[in-house]
Amino acid sequence: MEERKSPVGTILLCVALAAMLVLCGALMPRMQSAKQLLDIEKNATPTPTADNRNMLAITPHPNATPAPTVLILKVGVEGDQVKRLQERLKHLGYYTGEVDGQFGQGTAQSVMMFQAQHGIAADGLAGEETRTLLYSDAAQVFVPTPVPTATPSVLSMGDDHDGVRAAQQRLKDLGYLEGSVDGDFGAGTKAAVMWFQRQNGLSEDGVIGGNTMALLYSEDAPMAIATPTPDPNAAPILVNKTHPVDASYKPGDLVNMRDFMPSDLIYVKGSECEGDRTAATALINLLKAAKADGITGWQLNAGYRSVRYQQTLMNNKIDEYLSRNPSWSRSKAQSAASKTVADPGTSEHHTGLAFDVTARGADAFIGTEQQKWLNENCWDYGFIIRYQEDKEDITGFIAECWHIRYVGTAHSIPMRDNNLCLEEYLGEMD
Ligand SMILES: [Zn+2]
């Protein structure tokens, strides 16, 4: 983080001003009007210095004002300081573009590469910390990550060896992988690869083949650019079997549901259950309305799930099938598990906007007074019954009367009125 402004500059400025006022006071005792004071302040405006190293060579004049706070150089900034930055980055091998004094994406990428190699937050902003290091003797020349020699030509999900480990490390250095570097190509690694491919215009299959491998290990491999968190009130995000979320998707503001939800409205199963704040607030409003209609006894069974957790659920299901059917192959167990557990990345629960609600103590939710009320009224509070019986062919999921998804009333009401599932509503029918 380099956005904080150093208070030192402000303090020095105040000290200089005070000293000047004292001096002026001594020379011109009668100078007291506010206008004259203002003139003094105007004259005290610091003159920008192109290079603060030069400051050391300047003998300060008694009335000299301190150098201005060093600006953060970032995309859009122009001038000599940028030129000097580019020169230095070029000298060290990070920058291959033109030294033109214009801080563009190429300069930002070079700054990120420099930051990543030096173990500081790779944000592409050349602030005080980055520049101090860059201009110091500790600045290292650019070292491209070598392609591991024993790497097979293609890496894909299920692989487990040092080649995977190297690819994971590279994805992590570039900011695409958040999980651990464990040599095991799982859902998290696949999501990171898909993010890398999508951002860089490669075909998005989650497999590290020739093109992906070549770019990943090249000097030009770009750092990850995180996409902003979607606004739940904007067009609803579609997550299904053909529209999985990847590691770049971050639910906005997650809250702990047991802490957040009033306990007289709903019992939250699991002390670690989380949900999106906006969706959870809408759920409170829904439950208050239900209570006003005399419908209580709700239970929250599930909210946000990470891709990693979904992978655990999937693995457990596969193990369960294998232990019940010892003759089955792993791939047979895997395809059986896929029918009841959403593949990692394809669950709406990754968004934090979906909740599984049931009636406390009931064996089944369907047919309960809570289920009937929810089916009829959830729309008015921004929720939809996401998986309905007459839409199974489109959603790809069998009906789940307990799974509600927050989309906001701007969308839920027209979806109800026109009997559209989310795929139909968004015109995403592939
Ligand atoms: Zn669900």
Question: What's the confidence (pLDDT) of residue 148?
Answer: 56
Regarding whether 90 and 190 lie in a shared domain, the answer is: no
Regarding whether 211 and 258 lie in a shared domain, the answer is: no
Q: What is the mean pLDDT of residues 173-179?
A: 86
> Structure pTM?
0.47
Local confidence band at 227 (pLDDT 50, 70, 90 cut-offs): low
State yes or no: pLDDT of 58 exceeds 70.
Answer: no
Amino acid at residue number 302: A
Regarding whether 49 and 85 lie in a shared domain, the answer is: no
Query: Do 244 and 262 contact (CB within 8 A), yes or no?
Result: no
Local confidence band at 21 (pLDDT 50, 70, 90 cut-offs): very low
Amino acid at residue number 364: A
Average pLDDT value over all residues in the chain = 81
State yes or no: pLDDT of 410 exceeds 60.
Answer: yes
Residue 354 alpha carbon to ligand 1 centre in Å: 6
Q: Is 128 a catalytic residue?
A: no
Query: Could you read off the pLDDT of 411-422 as tens digits, one per residue?
Result: 999 999 999 999
Local confidence band at 152 (pLDDT 50, 70, 90 cut-offs): low
Regarding whether 199 and 117 lie in a shared domain, the answer is: no
Question: What's the confidence (pLDDT) of residue 252?
Answer: 72
Regarding whether 418 and 353 lie in a shared domain, the answer is: yes
Range with top average pLDDT, 1-5, 58-62, 202-206: 202-206
Regarding whether 28 and 88 lie in a shared domain, the answer is: no
Residue 342 alpha carbon to ligand 1 centre in Å: 10
Regarding whether 296 and 363 lie in a shared domain, the answer is: yes
Residue 402 alpha carbon to ligand 1 centre in Å: 7
Residue 167 included in any domain? yes
Question: What's the confidence (pLDDT) of residue 5?
Answer: 46
Q: What is the mean pLDDT of residues 325-351?
A: 90
CATH of the domain at 280: 3.30.1380.10
Residue 123 included in any domain? yes
Q: Under DSSP, is residue 215 helix (H, G, I), strand (E, B) or coil?
A: helix
State yes or no: pLDDT of 183 exceeds 80.
Answer: yes
Final residue of a structural domain among 95, 117, 134: 134
Query: Could you read off the pLDDT of 108-142 as tens digits, one per residue?
Result: 888 988 988 898 888 888 988 899 999 999 999 88
Range with top average pLDDT, 16-30, 96-110, 204-218, 397-411: 397-411
Q: What are the Cα distances from residue 93, in Å, to 97, 233, 260?
A: 11, 45, 51
Within 13 Å, how many C-alpha atoms sit on residue 76's CB side?
A: 3
Q: What is the mean pLDDT of residues 303-314?
A: 88
Question: What's the confidence (pLDDT) of residue 34?
Answer: 40
Residue 292 alpha carbon to ligand 1 centre in Å: 26
Q: Compute how many other C-beta atoms are within 10 angstroms of the C-beta atom of residue 41.
A: 11
Regarding whether 183 and 53 lie in a shared domain, the answer is: no
Residue 330 included in any domain? no
State which residues form the domain around 175.
Answer: 162-216
Residue 369 alpha carbon to ligand 1 centre in Å: 19
Q: What is the mean pLDDT of residues 293-303?
A: 97
Query: Do 181 and 162 contact (CB within 8 A), yes or no?
Result: no
Local confidence band at 70 (pLDDT 50, 70, 90 cut-offs): low
Residue 205 included in any domain? yes
Q: What is the mean pLDDT of residues 257-272?
A: 93
Min mean pLDDT across 128-137, 296-305, 379-388, 411-420 is at: 128-137
Maximum distance among all alpha carbons in the chain?
Answer: 102
Q: Name the helix (H) or strand (E) containing 299.
A: strand 298-302
Q: Which residues of 133-151 are buried (b: 16+ CB within 10 A; e: fewer)?
A: bbeeeebeeeeebeeeeeb
Question: What's the confidence (pLDDT) of residue 63?
Answer: 46
Q: What are the Cα distances from residue 422, in Å, to 7, 108, 280, 299, 394?
A: 52, 38, 20, 25, 9
> What share of the chain in percent tops pLDDT 70?
79
Q: What is the mean pLDDT of residues 346-371?
A: 94
CATH of the domain at 97: 1.10.101.10
Regarding whether 169 and 298 lie in a shared domain, the answer is: no
Residue 228 included in any domain? no
Q: What is the mean pLDDT of residues 287-313?
A: 93
Catalytic residue among 3, 400, 423, 428: 400
Regarding whether 352 and 287 lie in a shared domain, the answer is: yes
State the Cα–Cα distance between residues 30 and 24, nearest whole angstrom.
10
Q: What string of DSSP letters covers 350-373?
A: GGT-EEEEEETT-S-STTSHHHHH
Residue 100 included in any domain? yes
Cite the DSSP H helix spans in 238-368: 257-260, 277-292, 307-324, 330-338
Residue 316 included in any domain? no
Residue 420 alpha carbon to ligand 1 centre in Å: 19
Q: What are phi and psi of 254, to 5 degrees?
A: -85, 140
Local confidence band at 323 (pLDDT 50, 70, 90 cut-offs): very high
Q: Under DSSP, is residue 300 helix (H, G, I), strand (E, B) or coil?
A: strand
> What share of the chain in percent tops pLDDT 90?
44
Min mean pLDDT across 22-26, 38-42, 119-123, 252-256 is at: 38-42
Beta bridge partners of 406: 383
Residue 73 alpha carbon to ligand 1 centre in Å: 46
Q: Under DSSP, is residue 406 helix (H, G, I), strand (E, B) or coil?
A: strand
Per the structure, how many domains does the chain have? 4
Crossing angle between the packed helical segments 369-377 and 277-292, to the nearest 10 degrees: 120
Question: What's the confidence (pLDDT) of residue 247?
Answer: 62
Regarding whether 395 and 268 lie in a shared domain, the answer is: yes
State yes or no: pLDDT of 51 exceeds 90.
Answer: no
The structure tokens listed for 236 are: 């609803």
Query: Could you read off the pLDDT of 228-242 as tens digits, one per residue?
Result: 444 555 788 899 888
Q: What is the mean pLDDT of residues 340-362?
A: 92
Query: Could you read off the pLDDT of 239-258 as tens digits, one per residue?
Result: 988 899 876 677 878 899 99
Regarding whether 301 and 413 lie in a shared domain, the answer is: yes
Residue 366 included in any domain? yes
Residue 384 alpha carbon to ligand 1 centre in Å: 12
